[in-house]
Structure 1
């Protein structure tokens, strides 16, 4: 478990890239996990994680048993918000790349094994959803304001959820192994 800590969020992004490479024909280096400003000029699509939030609906999950003498708090459920931007200077090519990404995420809205890597499955992620997250024009302008030296490019946003990050804390427990009942007469 210890080697998995800190790799779940990055595994989610890499899984999305692998899905796009296998289903849309993108090659290595065509999709980068960077902001549209920091993306290499040779890249075709930027997949930028711009927000991470705790999923408030899944916070009350049950504790998990660890062996016979421990309990682990429920996993930390996260929602990951991605900005997907086509990077081509040619408008038709950019629209084609964006359409390819949207089609793949539409055709594969739920990632389950074998699409999920062992790192995520071992952490308790049975299924992760890729859902369009529409932004108003005003919200999209605010988001693009993070890149003051970059002109607005047509983009779409997605939320990837729930991404479960296991707790590293284990609380020791002692089980009842023997019960004594005394019955007396009055």
Structure 2
């Protein structure tokens, strides 16, 4: 599905919002009690929109080279489904909290960082009811892994933003599959040899008619 990347982002967004709403101290800052949000915008995008909360910014998308050459999936014995494109998504998660007078709130930012770390440490695999968007109701699962990029790499990321550096976290989400829209292809049936006969015959899947 072409919406797989968006669905992965929406899943992170929903999981984080639930975690922040369940925090005994931070809950008053997020809906329904407070105005702060979990946004998919960049940190400077949240500043432009005068928003407080957490920026969950998808800043890098790369192919999973290890899964790239998977063979097509076989459905009925004579049909092949093109393999999906496996992707790894890299997110920068940045608290964007402010005090009562609109000034930075480093103490609250650090509390939010702790809540983010705790949430994905407790739930590193997201599946079932945790999925959102186009992934909701599917049997997919995605893994969320904390990354530790070097200072130089992190500086390059922040150089793209029109904001001074703020304490943030980097996470990799994998594997997100972008499915092909090509129709299923016809393929030869799977054959298996019969040693006792020295012949081969089509392999009938369980439940298929002979």
TM-score band w.r.t. shorter chain: 0.7 to 0.9
Counterpart of 2:176 in structure 1 is 163
- Which residue of the other structure, out of 114, 125, 132, is the alignment partner of 2:146? 132
- Which residue of the other structure, out of 22, 26, 30, is the alignment partner of 2:37? 30
Structure-2 separation of matches of 1:101 and 1:41: 22
- Runs of 4 or more, structure 1, over 6 Å off, are 121-124
Counterpart of 1:181 in structure 2 is none
Structure-1 separation of matches of 2:113 and 2:133: 28
Structure-2 separation of matches of 1:27 and 1:97: 15
Residue 17 of structure 1: how far off its partner (Å): 1.1
Residue 155 of structure 1: how far off its partner (Å): 0.9
Structure-1 separation of matches of 2:58 and 2:133: 21
TM-aligned CA distance change 1:123 to 1:70, over 3 Å = farther
RMSD: 2.4
Structure-2 separation of matches of 1:51 and 1:74: 22
Range with greater deviation from structure 2 (109-118 or 89-98): 109-118
**1:154 equivalent in alignment to 2:148:** no
**1:56 equivalent in alignment to 2:69:** no
Structure 1 gaps of 5+ residues are 177-186
Structure 2 gaps of 5+ residues are 22-29, 98-103, 191-210
Task: Give the TM-score taking structure 1 as reference length.
Answer: 0.82
Contact 1:124 1:166 in 2 (8 A): no
Structure-1 separation of matches of 2:117 and 2:61: 21
- Which residue of the other structure, out of 98, 109, 127, is the alignment partner of 2:113? 98
TM-aligned CA distance change 1:38 to 1:87, over 3 Å = same
Residue 59 of structure 1: how far off its partner (Å): 1.5
Contact 1:85 1:155 in 2 (8 A): yes
- Which residue of the other structure, out of 67, 71, 79, is the alignment partner of 2:80? 71
**Residues 104-130 of structure 1, C-alpha deviation per residue, up to 9 Å, x if partnerless?**
0111101121212473267762x2110
- Which residue of the other structure, out of 145, 151, 163, is the alignment partner of 2:159? 145
Structure-1 separation of matches of 2:70 and 2:128: 22
Structure-1 separation of matches of 2:82 and 2:160: 36
Aligned residues: 172
Counterpart of 1:9 in structure 2 is 5
Task: Give the TM-score taking structure 2 as reference length.
Answer: 0.73
Counterpart of 1:84 in structure 2 is 93
Structure-1 separation of matches of 2:56 and 2:174: 16
